[in-house]
Amino acid sequence: MRAVVLRQERLEVRGTPDPVPGSGELLVRTLSTAICASDVHFMDHPELVAEDLGMLYDRERDIVLGHEFVGEVVAAGPDCSGQFPPGTRVTSMPILFREGRTQCIGQHPDAPGSFGQLFVLSEAMSRVVPEGAPLDAVALVDAFAVGEFYVRSSRIASGEIPLIVGAGAIGLSAVAALVKRSIEPIVVSDYNPDRLNLAKTFGAHVLVNPAERSPFDAWREIARERYSAAPPVVFECVGAPGLIQRIVDSTDMWSRIFAAGGWYSGDTLNCTAATRKGITIQFGGGPMPEDWYGTLDAVVEGSLDPTPAIGRVIGLEDVPAALDQARAAQGPPRIIVRPNG
């Protein structure tokens, strides 16, 4: 098959062996897949790849990236149930279960991802994508499940005012999850006016460019207008070094901060400053299956449409350049890839 192959720290679009489904696995033809910042982080920070979580960066073996996807079943491996016959459209959380261990699809040489014409899924994790469901929207389920997880974890209540820092795909997913819960007003901060406009499309109410005004000052003004004494609920959706510390320094006492930005580089935090303000910070931990498959249900039912986050649709040949764009944070929130045309 043709695929975007990472080997010896280089990306190439070339042939690589077809994956072979093992016991309880499905061989799937990629219909739609999306580029994620995690693809770039995996390439750029091999020293931080978590082998205990099913990831493996081996410079001497082909690694096919891609973990946000929808595909069509081509064949089934041994011991499959037959509930997914060839031609069935499927998606899944990007995890393979093998001999009591997990492997992350797209981040392990033995679990090739969806930036190839074929990949493998665990039948037990797979779900049918009904005919008529928008395939590009299904490919964004993984990204939008992240916002669902953090908003659910926050237990945000009516009367609390959220502040979302960053309007990339994860920030937009947090907006969607808050709108689902009828939380308002939603304050979103980003330097990019196009992304702020997208946040408004997804349901944000107050848009702030930090180059023009502090988002925390904007939040405080809204809180005063509403006579709200509840502290901020901050969703950090960028992952830039130093950002958590700046949020701690800028936010109010007793704030809750949810670090959804995907931290793949080391950072420091003045714990004394956070302690004095009584701040709660949650890093990582999701999405959980209930978030992922709940988001899939919402997309299939039509109550969630993530497709405004899509800025471009490309083929395999354009993926290396698109990943460079993602590395520079210059592209749209999501770029869709169609490996089979």
Confidence band of 1 (pLDDT split at 50, 70, 90): very high
Q: Distance between CA 30 and CA 119 in Å, rounded?
A: 7
**6 & 125 share domain:** yes
**122 & 253 share domain:** no
Contact present, 207 and 186 (Cβ < 8 Å): no
Kind of pairing, strands 334-337 and 310-314? parallel
- Going by C-alpha positions, the residue among 339, 332, 336 that lies closest to residue 313 is 336
The domain that holds 242 is classified in CATH as 3.40.50.720
- Going by C-alpha positions, the residue among 238, 272, 228, 241 that lies closest to residue 258 is 238
Instruction: Tell me what pLDDT residue 48 has.
Output: 76
Range of the domain at 251: 143-283
**131 & 96 share domain:** yes
Amino acid residing at 202: F
The alpha carbon torsion through 41, 43, 49, 51 (nearest 10 deg) reads 130
Of all residues in the chain, the percent with pLDDT exceeding 70 is 99
Domain membership of residue 295 (yes or no) is: no
**167 & 243 share domain:** yes
**125 & 154 share domain:** no
Domain membership of residue 292 (yes or no) is: no
pLDDT tens digits for range 87-135: 999 999 999 999 889 999 999 999 999 999 999 999 999 999 999 999 9
**215 & 166 share domain:** yes
pLDDT tens digits for range 147-198: 999 999 999 999 999 999 999 999 999 999 999 999 999 999 999 999 999 9
Q: Distance between CA 23 and CA 158 in Å, rounded?
A: 48
Q: Distance between CA 151 and CA 173 in Å, rounded?
A: 9
Domain membership of residue 78 (yes or no) is: yes
The 3-state DSSP class for residue 112 equals coil
Q: pLDDT at residue 50 above 80?
A: no
The alpha helices in 262-318, defined as continuous H runs, are 271-276, 289-301
Instruction: Tell me what pLDDT residue 284 has.
Output: 85
Q: pLDDT at residue 263 above 70?
A: no
Confidence band of 6 (pLDDT split at 50, 70, 90): very high
The number of domains in the chain is 2
**121 & 150 share domain:** no
**105 & 217 share domain:** no
**202 & 254 share domain:** yes
Instruction: Tell me what pLDDT residue 329 has.
Output: 80
Question: Could you tell me the pTM of the whole model?
Answer: 0.95
pLDDT tens digits for range 299-338: 999 999 999 999 999 999 999 999 999 888 888 999 999 9
